[in-house]
Structure 1
Amino acid sequence: MDEEIWFEDVEQFLICPRRYCLEKEYKNKRGIISEQETREMMKLGFSVEKPILSTELFGLNLVSDPQAVVPDGDKWKIILNKSAKTFKNKYITEAAFHGYIFSSVGYIVSEVIIVSPYFTKRIDWRDGLTRLFALIENLAELRMQDLPEPKPVSQCKTCPHVLDCTGVLVEKQDLLAIHGLSDKTRIKLIEEGVNNLSAIIQIQELKDISKESLEKLKKKALALIEKKEVVLSQYQELPDGIFLDIESHTSRNFDYLFGVLVNDKYIPFLCENEEQEYRVFADTIDFLDQTDGPIYHYCAYEPSRFSSLSERWSDLKPVFSKIKKRFADIYQILSKHVALPLFTYSLKSVARLYGFHWRTNLDGLRASRYFQLWLNTHDELYLKTVLDYNEDDTRAAKVVWERLNLLRNN
């Protein structure tokens, strides 16, 4: 059986070939209808929602599953739904992917239409064919090559393979393993002949880098080599508190879930639609106002959203003003005071380092999609999955908080 390639596989290959290789597997064809049913309906000239068609290219079985295909005279138009606010160049490649598959099996595509709440764009899918063919050829060749080397990118922060990739980079003594190391500093190090982790530990001074920054850099390299945390500087004990995590609906631009972990009990404040956002946010800050201790979060998103929402609804500002000084960013404390054997200090990576496991394979974007599926279908399984994901985020933050206190006391 040829390996099945969906466009999401092409997207993953573009972001990180290594993750694509680690996660590729044969997939059951998805969709409301089968490929045979798609062909039968199109032969009758019907529009088809969630069609499925496939064709072979370079020994790979490409599978197309657009939102819809509609007749256009003796040709067809393909519809792709998006939630983005602006048009992205990758949509040209995606249009070529679907247009090529349908046209190659006899259903000539006149155009591909990208539909977003913010724009509609008509694409000549042939414009992306050259790039598409090169990508698929590279995918086919990748099967006969060794696993690609890790290359840190922004999407690594949610990837489950960070621990393994860090190990590979450290084994190679690659400077890319150092969290927060800018390209400018990395190039400067290499120009000075410092081109591996062990060499960093040995240097005594480096031009244009302060002694304090150099010591921090050396400790980060040491943490990677010795595969353990290294305290960069002392910090105060982190008192008991509350853990907060927000989920936002990307396509509708509203915060639909405020998850709170208090006394090890998870409490979700859930919006079922945009109209409920005011009431649910008000309930959330009223609840937080009745508690004591720091309001822990991981990175700056939560206080930023609280600030924006309180600006939108000025009557809620007084309550937010009372609690905002209690917000405490675990990431800022961690990155300032502790070096970890990781190249990214995202919550997903750090909590996994400490043995925490999420019950779902979601990230923020996938959670938003599951939430929309729940709104569309009222299938409680979708909602439960989103709530499990959000609860796990709050519990993961607590795990990191516990580890920070343990490190401080050792």
Structure 2
Amino acid sequence: MKKYINPEFSQWENISQRKTVPTVDLNQTVKEIFTDIQKNGDDAVSKYTSIFDGVSISNFKVSDEEILEATDLVSDELKIAIQEATNNIKRFHTSQKENITKVETTSGVFCWRESRAIETIGIYIPAGTAPLFSTVLMLAIPAQIAGCKNIILCSPPNKNGKISPAILYVAQLTGVTSIFKVGGIQAIASMTFGTQSIPKVAKIFGPGNQYVTSAKKYAQQLGVAIDMPAGPSELLVIADQTCDVDFVASDLLSQAEHGEDSQVILVTNSEEIVEKVNQAIAFQKSILPRVSIVEKALENSRAIVLNSIDEAIKFSNYYAPEHLILAINDAEDKVAQIENAGSVFIGNYSCESAGDYASGTNHTLPTNGFAKNYSGVSLDSFVKKITFQKITATGIQNLGKTIELMAEAEQLEAHKNAVSIRLKKLQNG
């Protein structure tokens, strides 16, 4: 990790830069693939699956037989762990259900809001260097609780044309209705337009690399909603003298192993902590099977020493991390100062891995600074909010004059007349 000692505020923007692929090249690639898939459907999907995944597939849909086979390949021990995580995620997301509250804003005027599930949603599950079956839990469970009728899952196949057994097992466990062996830009394009075999969806969820993120942004321009611009994983740890440097190192490494384009940041008020964390990283990473990925990620990572923990929190708010760990004294007392973060982990024992898998919170979170204006996935992500109102005869009489005056001031006479005609009929009996 590159080290910075008391950088000036003017340097913060440069320090906060994430690793990127040139946007122009990305956008052009995405547009070309989308256009091809819109025109040629499954044939184009097959072509790009062959190019990018190195496998020829004619039937993308995962069969019931493949799901049964996958179920047998998942160990009983893992199934138990998945069930415990499922229970916690269900419990947390079920608590987010909104109670209907009718408000009488004026006597005789009743207003309220109700949720309706998005009928067809698409889930993208990365599987390039790690099959993220946990993301199926994070997306399919709240979709099922919300009442989505059609849950479409796309995930890239391996060289044998298969999807990870764990992904398939969790998909059937959580109510996914259709699973397709398609990854990358072509998966997002397929769910945007619909092809001969892959349904068109109304909203697309799920993380991915910068190609997937760019594809989701393009899908949004074409009228398909997305959860958020979720790209490469990132973590920022704020640590002081009360931290356990071994814990801090392990948390930084846990995010670095996601991919070469992941980024981890250590912010502290002590240069000594940086040195000790670096020593712990050197020891711990040596036994990791994904050490080459970790080392690439660390090349684009930072260790920053600032004058105080309050200043460290200011930097964190500026950076707006996907994950934030507060490994500091009286961590919970600092929560009110956190303004921009996808998910926050409080204290030395709140490892980010818990949120990734089983504590109950959702791990699909905004990255690349989007925590400044996006929330992580929740039950609300899978519903639309519809407002309702009921105005009685008394209500229109009480509110009518106000509406008439405002409509007249905007020179919208038909709006005014819609009220006036009702008031006159009530007046005339």
Please tell me the TM-score bracket, short chain as reference: under 0.3
TM-score of the aligned structures, taking structure 1 as reference length: 0.24
TM-score of the aligned structures, taking structure 2 as reference length: 0.23
Which has the bigger relative contact order, CA under 8 A and spacing at least 6?
A: 2
